[in-house]
Amino acid sequence: MRFPEAVKSLDVRDPLEVIARVASREQLERISRLPNKRLLLDIAEIVLVAQPASIFVHTGSEDDREYVRRRALASKEEIPSKVPRHTVHFDGPLDLARDKANTRILVGSGERIAMVNTLERDRGLAEVSQLFRGVMAGREMFVGLYVYGPEGSPLSLYGVQVTDSAYVIHSEDILYRNGYRAFLENPDLDYMLFIHSAGERDERGWSKNVEKRRIYIDLHGNSVYSVNTQYAGNTVGLKKLALRLAVYKGLREGWLAEHMFIIGMRGPGGRVTYFTGAFPAGCGKTATTMIADTVVGDDLAIIREIEGEPRAINPEVGMFGIIDGVNPADDPEIYGILVNPEAEIIFCNVLLTEDGEVWWRGKPTEPRRGLNYAGEWWPGKVGADGREILPSHPNARFTVSIRLLEKLDPRIDDPMGVPVSGFIFGGRDPATLPPVVEAFSWQHGIVTMGAALESERTAAVLGETGVMELNPFAILDFLSISPGKFTELHLRFAEKLVKVPRVFQVNYFLRGKDGGYLAEKRDKIVWLRWMEHRVHGELGAIPSPIGYIPLYEDLCELFDKHLSKDFPENLYEEMFAMRTSQLLSKIERVRSAYEQDPDAPLELFEILGEQYRRVENLRSRYGDRVSPFKLDKR
């Protein structure tokens, strides 16, 4: 049972009889065609508990998609702009981001997961049973069935979204492939279930009881409960909520669910080499995606072994991106899509001016009076705390189809995915790591680059800035297992592979003695080109204590060829110097964190120990800062 406390006295022996109480003849016919008996029971149970007034089952037709758009406008969850296919959604001032504190993995009694927010399963299910009781009374309940990946792919998963929010279903329609037909054709589909209600809404349509906001992930039931919230990160099931379920499923079955982009880089002879990449927020993930030659995905990846080769699919076909700062100079392709009148776009928590223009920080016009995430807005408006209220929120977002990208890779719908030749990990590190490093081996890279991924806390996060925070594989917020188990999964995954990807680490945020960044934004293309050549063994490298770094002469050639600019020797020396004291401190921080994780594999500590000894030996010979020209090139 999905709601054990709420349905003890309710009879669900005949699910269609229960569903018929709220379904029209047409909707009942759509449901009755579904051969999955477990799914019918799930829908019936939700009807009994949440008590909706009606039900709508999404078949994926254009008529159904248009119906959802109309319902989102009619319910005032979305507001029209002066561009017909551009709508605006506001979450309300208390519901503008993922709720980390109330997002919990449900676990058995006495169980805990290192570095992961958990709650006893029986207690969590009892709580949501009460919160969902009658929560959809008087409302329409939407049922959306989706494919989490290309249709017909052995790598894909399946998800069912049940919600009283047309905005949530509209978002799913843009971000994922409709799966109604797949469910019709296969009575035994295993699926993730996402149950959501915005809860009671105030006069502006915002979730009213945000203090009772709950997002509970039930691994045992392969389901997620989300209530009293509208923000997409808390509600759109197949986004980061599904990632947590996929991580757990991947652990059980031996494959990887990653918070990674999938990009292609072209090389000599027209070849395309595919990379996946994990970056915490604000560390260049989107910028790297957009500078690549082709894009398969910008955010998520499922990677499985197929005949000894790692193959990756993007489970999505849309982008839910941060819009703050997007401008025509730095982000020409994304900006062009966002102002395209033909594109279907949901803008979230931006400014909607009185004359219907969508405005965000980065748009090269001045903001004017209108509506935003806090209500009515005008230039100079201040809040109760005396601070000026920004016209658009720093976490304002856009939801749009990825198929609008000019660089979209034609293999995005390939059921066998794309072959992965390299993993890239990147963080914000002002004082330690060079711009690009290649691991000595898969094991070395997974431990010292993936499991040890750190990023500097910025002013956007509460607390002291400049502190380095561990974010293993850039997925810590979305893990349903311990980082130690996730690391072990990666180490074992390679044992099945004939072609093992190379592992790289990038750092776009290294600062020089004057405090400025050493690399320019456009330099990313050079680091990507270097990695592409390294995968094919076409360039040499210098062994350092932390991995292979580029030869100066190779970078000179790449900078000249791809950016038409000089690369001074003194800049190379500063960028690729070994900052040994900082490197040792990093290893100590990482080791200390994993000592608190009982699942951390012994191999992790061995590899960290070997790296520590290499760095310590270099420091004993040359000091705290070692020029790359002092390293042995052999």
556 has catalytic annotation:
no
Contact assessment for residue 169 and residue 58, using Cβ atoms and an 8 Å cutoff: yes
Strands 86-89 and 345-348, sheet pairing: parallel
- Residue 238's CB is within 10 A of a number of other CB atoms, namely 28
CA separation (Å) from 436 to 64, 286, 500? 48, 17, 20
Burial (CB < 10 A; 0-12, 13-18, 19+), residue 185, is: exposed
Task: List, as own/partner pairs, every contact residues 511-520 make where C-beta atoms lie below 8 angstroms and the sequence separation is at least 24, other chains included.
Answer: 511/430, 511/431, 512/574, 513/574, 518/435, 518/571, 518/574, 518/575, 519/435, 519/575
* Backbone conformation region of residue 523, classed left if phi is above 0, alpha if psi is from -120 to 50, else beta: alpha
Q: How far apart are the first and last CA of the chain?
A: 63
Q: How many CA atoms lie within 13 A of 396 on its CB side?
A: 27
- SS3 at position 216: strand
CA atoms of 56 and 225, how far apart (whole Å): 19
CA separation (Å) from 281 to 391, 496, 516? 22, 31, 21
CA atoms of 82 and 63, how far apart (whole Å): 23
**H or E stretch at 171:** helix 166-175
- Where do we find the tokens 């705390």? 385
CA atoms of 44 and 82, how far apart (whole Å): 40
CA atoms of 167 and 149, how far apart (whole Å): 22
CA atoms of 40 and 31, how far apart (whole Å): 8
CA atoms of 436 and 76, how far apart (whole Å): 48
Q: Read off the DSSP letter of residue 247.
A: H
Q: What are phi and psi of 31, to 5 degrees?
A: -70, -45
CA separation (Å) from 450 to 339, 454, 478, 486? 37, 9, 15, 10
CA atoms of 442 and 490, how far apart (whole Å): 9
CA atoms of 402 and 356, how far apart (whole Å): 25
- Where do we find the tokens 């856009």? 398
- Which residues, other chains included, contact 465 with Cβ-Cβ below 8 Å and sequence gap of 6+? 456, 457, 458, 459
- Residue 222's CB is within 10 A of a number of other CB atoms, namely 16
Interior CA angle at 588 toward 612 and 610, to 5°? 20
Q: Read off the DSSP letter of residue 451.
A: I
Determine which one of 128, 168, 257, 283 is catalytic.
Answer: 283
Catalytic residue IDs: 283
